[in-house]
Amino acid sequence: MKLQKIFLESGWKNGSYLIDLSSENALIYLLINAKFVGIPIMSNEFNNVEKVIRDVIDESNAPAIKKSWLITSDELPSNKELLLKSAKLNNNYHSPVAEISHFSKSKNFIIWSPINQ
């Protein structure tokens, strides 16, 4: 599968932690054999993104977020900044490693790798 290949070529290791901020669905965790940080974010919860991100923060901690991979979308680019700000982190912990265009929607996804993982 294309998504798995992109993750693996970007340095992904099965069982790594992932926070999906893309507003898609939690199936990505199964597709790439990822672990949740805190709670999985479901796409229908993004109508109150601040609450969802607070829940992730409440269920995890800053070190877990620092070492997690992130997925963002150009549809909701501020989710990453909101997550990091809420966890009292900055952008120095993650680096973009790949961009994926959704084949049936007009949006792009960015995969962020933790730096110094």
What would the pLDDT profile of 15-36 be if each residue is shown by its tens digit?
999 888 776 666 788 889 998 8
- For residue 61, what pLDDT is reported? 72
From the list 65, 58, 53, 59, the residue with the least C-alpha distance to 93 is 65
> Which pTM does this prediction carry?
0.79
Calpha distance 63→34 (Å, rounded): 17
- Which residue did the predictor score with more confidence, 95 or 11? 11
pLDDT, one tens digit per residue, over 62-99 is 777 888 898 887 776 667 777 777 666 667 888 889 88
Q: What angle do CA 24, 20, 16 make, to 5 degrees?
A: 135
Burial 10-38, CB ≥16 within 10 A → b, else e? eebeeebbbbbbbbbeeebeeebebebbb
- For residue 49, what pLDDT is reported? 65
